[in-house]
Structure formats: structure tokens, C-alpha cells
């Protein structure tokens, strides 16, 4: 039987164990709760294989002062379980989040602090880097990346 992948909106707390395993292995679980997780405008996506969660991504309504677009979202906690990496799961999650942001916002924009090890993944999805690399203490080197979208939201008259 072939696997079925489904993407669903999930709660912040449903992301924590996967964030912990992929992004903060061996670190306290408390590090996996991010500021903004429960804020208005934040949404979390989970991708499931036969009803088991294998990847997560969070999109937070958060503006970066270096950018001007009105509807800025920050991507956080993008994580795919290692045994499912390289199968297109991360791409599905990213595209679903992008699609939701484009449908629901005027002047949509997505930015994030990318791990340098994932820069090429994001470049394949049309993201550009901004500024210099910087160290996130205890994690690894990062760089800001971004993409400015055309809105799919109908103008309200």
C-alpha cells in the first residue's frame, strides 16, 4: 500500500516533540516553545504519513524592521524527521504555508533565520539571502532569507 501524505493545521504544542528531535536534539524541551507560538496570526502546519506526524513548520505574523512589506510572516521551526528527508516533504510544507499566506494577505512576504546548512533548500524555492551570517548561540550559523510574493487575496472594496 502506498503512503498517503496529508498536511493539516496543528496546535503549537503538536510541533514541540518534532522540533525537539530535529532542531534541538538532546536539549531541554522548553527550548522548543518559541515566542509567538500562540500569538494571533501564527499558524502551524504538520505533515502526516498514514496519520503519523513527520514534519512541521510554523508561520508567525512578525515583521522584520529591515523589510517594508505590510504582511510579513516569519517561518520558524521547519523540521522533517531525518528518515523522511529528501523526499519532498519540506517542500510540501513550505509551499502550503506560502499558499496560505498569499491567499489571505495583501503584500505578503516571508522571511526567516535560515540555518546555513539549509540555504540551498530555500534557494531552490526562490528565497534570497540578506545581510551577513550570524551565530545563534548553542545552535549553529544562520542567515536571514526572504521572498516577496504577489498577493492572491481579492481586494476588498
Ligand X SMILES: CC(C)(COP(=O)(O)OP(=O)(O)OC[C@H]1O[C@@H](n2cnc3c(N)ncnc32)[C@H](O)[C@@H]1OP(=O)(O)O)[C@@H](O)C(=O)NCCC(=O)NCCS
Interface residues with ligand X (CB under 6 A) are 22-23, 78-80, 85-91, 114-115, 117-118, 120-121, 124
- What is the smallest separation between the CB atom of 75 and ligand X, expressed in angstroms? 8
Closer to ligand X at the Cβ: 86 or 126? Answer: 86
Q: How far is the CB of 48 from ligand X (least distance, A)?
A: 14
Q: Which is nearer to ligand X, 23 or 101 (CB)?
A: 23
Q: Least distance (Å) from ligand X to the CB of residue 106?
A: 26
Cα 71 off chain centre by: 16
* DSSP SS3 for 129: strand
Residue 62 to residues 39, 115, 117, 125, Cα–Cα distance (Å): 10, 19, 24, 21
| Cβ burial 46-63 (10 Å sphere, 16+ → b, else e) | bbbbeeebbbbbbbbbbe
Radius of gyration over every alpha carbon of the chain, rounded to an integer in angstroms: 15
Closest distance of CB 90 from ligand X, Å: 2
Taking the complex as a whole, the smallest distance from the CB of residue 71 to ligand X amounts, in Å, to: 21
Beta bridge partners of 146: 111, 128
Q: Which residue's CB is nearer to ligand X, number 96 or number 104?
A: 96
Nearer to ligand X, 34 or 151 (CB): 34
Nearer to ligand X, 2 or 155 (CB): 2
Q: Shortest Cβ contact with ligand X: which residue?
A: 90
In what side-by-side order are the strands of the sheet with 108-115? Answer: 5-10, 43-49, 52-61, 71-80, 108-115, 140-148, 128-136
Amino acid at each position: 500500500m502506498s503512503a498517503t501524505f496529508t498536511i493539516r493545521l496543528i496546535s503549537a504544542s503538536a510541533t514541540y516533540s518534532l522540533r525537539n528531535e530535529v532542531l534541538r536534539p538532546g536539549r531541554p524541551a522548553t527550548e522548543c516553545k518559541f515566542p509567538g507560538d500562540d500569538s494571533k496570526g501564527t499558524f502551524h502546519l504538520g505533515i502526516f504519513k498514514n496519520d503519523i506526524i513527520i514534519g512541521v513548520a510554523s508561520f508567525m505574523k512578525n515583521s522584520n524592521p529591515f523589510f517594508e512589506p505590510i504582511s510579513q510572516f516569519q517561518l520558524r521551526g521547519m523540521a522533517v524527521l531525518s528518515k523522511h528527508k529528501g523526499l519532498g516533504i519540506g517542500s510540501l510544507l513550505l509551499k502550503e504555508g506560502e499558499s496560505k499566506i498569499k491567499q489571505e494577505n495583501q503584500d505578503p512576504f516571508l522571511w526567516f533565520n535560515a540555518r546555513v546548512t539549509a540555504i540551498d533548500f530555500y534557494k531552490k524555492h526562490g528565497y534570497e539571502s540578506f545581510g551577513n551570517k550570524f551565530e545563534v548561540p548553542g545552535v549553529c550559523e544562520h542567515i536571514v532569507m526572504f521572498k516577496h510574493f504577489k498577493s492572491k487575496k481579492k481586494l476588498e472594496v
